[in-house]
Amino acid sequence: MRKIILIGLISILIFTSLLFPISTALADVVQYDAAEVSKIMKETDLFNLKSKSAILMDVATGDILLESESREKRPIASITKIMSMILVMEAIQNGKLAFDDMVQVSEYSYGFGGSQAYLAPGEEFTVHEMMKAVAIHSANDATVALAEKVAGSEETFVAMMNEKAEALGLTDTHFCDCSGLTTEGHYSTAYDVAIMSREVVQNYPKILEYTKIWHDTFRDGTFSLDNTNKLIRHYNGTIGLKTGYISAAGHCLSAVVKRENLTLISVVLGAPDSNTRFAESRKLLDYGFANFETTVLEEKNTEIGVVEVQKGLTTSVKGLLASDVNVLLKKGTKQKIERHVNMEPFLIAPVEAGQKVGEVIYKLEGDEIAKVNVVADESIDKASFIKLFFRMVLEWFGIGKSKGDGK
């Protein structure tokens, strides 16, 4: 009797493994034990993390607030899907793809192993549905299906991923697949992942609308999608991005968190377990929000000064700040900032609106923290010889305006 039961159990296991193949690179085992995470946080030393690589970056400035082995090349598992989602969104923004376009599941994308939506060959879902499966559930089969829809094949899509990585300056990143299951030759760094994540926030924010969903469904409500990034529910202000795990990569997480006017990215790679991944990410983010603030020192078009214009229809032009002056500061240091204005002594007409006429440098304790151009507020054409002659005569008799006195 025992033999019959044992044979039956083995048969069920074999049948299940054939129906739902499991990759040797297992799906992310996403654990979040609040008590354990809290305990790990209390024990965590920011300068001696258990994660093999980590970084904390400000989105607005790209400044690095804290890092540990952030340029070390490592496998990144499903964090790879950040780049895959970027390319899908790029295709949508370029008009080559639409959210309601149908994506057909191929034999190749079927049963990819690891995290999956258990797609069947021939099934069709919209790009929107597939994006949910990728962003929330980290479905490998849906990722490959989208890659085939965008590029025709995963191989061509991966070439596009590497081209995009090069365009973003990710010199320590190389992709071999679109889902992150490959271990040999497929790598990135905490720094490069932070740059990828920043690209999402700044240029593809629609991705965040997917990655911040805590729970949804797939296949007409029959398949649950639960977000693998548990910070979405357990850490205030979290708006994405992506978890990852395979045995070679360890537990990984890129998290984007926004509070008031400060948005931070934390990346941890190679954490020993899921709770540590979340605990160390929270510890990094706590440090950032407790110690830093984003401040607009001056706004675009603030008048900085007036520059003399020689041989022009008018004799001077206003200089305005070319952009907002956004800086990331340690809290309590704003009053120590020094402002240095360097303006051109004069300009010779013609002058174009927007032409650089100077710059403003902002320093904190002797270090430059920002530099912004000062530009002409309007165009000034060159004056005719007759106008210049009469202006000279009037100035000779003290009737006209002196140089630099305005318009």
For residue 363, what are its two tokens? 């320093």
- Angle, in degrees to the nearest 10, between helices 140-151 and 154-167: 80
Annotated catalytic residue 81: yes
The pair of three-digit structure tokens given for residue 125, joined into one six-digit string: 């879902």
Active-site residue, from 68, 78, 115, 179: 78
Which of 138, 188, 254, 316 is flagged as catalytic? 138
Catalytic-residue membership of 78: yes
The active-site residue, picked from 50, 52, 81, 283, is 81
Residue 138: active-site member: yes
CA 125 from centre of chain: 27
Angle between helices 34-43 and 274-291 (to 10 degrees): 60
268 vs 290: CA distance, rounded Å: 19
For the chain, give the secondary structure using H, E and C.
Answer: CHHHHHHHHHHHHHHHHHHCCCCCCCCCCCCCCHHHHHHHHHHCCCCCCCCCEEEEEECCCCCEEEEECCCCCECCHHHHHHHHHHHHHHHHHCCCCCCCCEEECCCCCCCCCCCCCCCCCCCEEEHHHHHHHHHCCCCHHHHHHHHHHHHCCHHHHHHHHHHHHHHCCCCCCECCCCCCCCCCCCEECHHHHHHHHHHHHHHCCHHHHHHCCCEEEECCCCEEEECCCCHHHHCCCEEEEEEEEECCCEEEEEEEEEECCEEEEEEEEEECCHHHHHHHHHHHHHHHHHHEEEEECCCCCCEEEEEEEECECCCEEEEEECCCCEEEEECCCHHHEEEEEEECCEEECCECCCCEEEEEEEEECCEEEEEEEEEECCCECECCHHHHHHHHHHHHCCCCCCCCCCC
Give catalytic residues, as residue numbers: 78, 81, 138
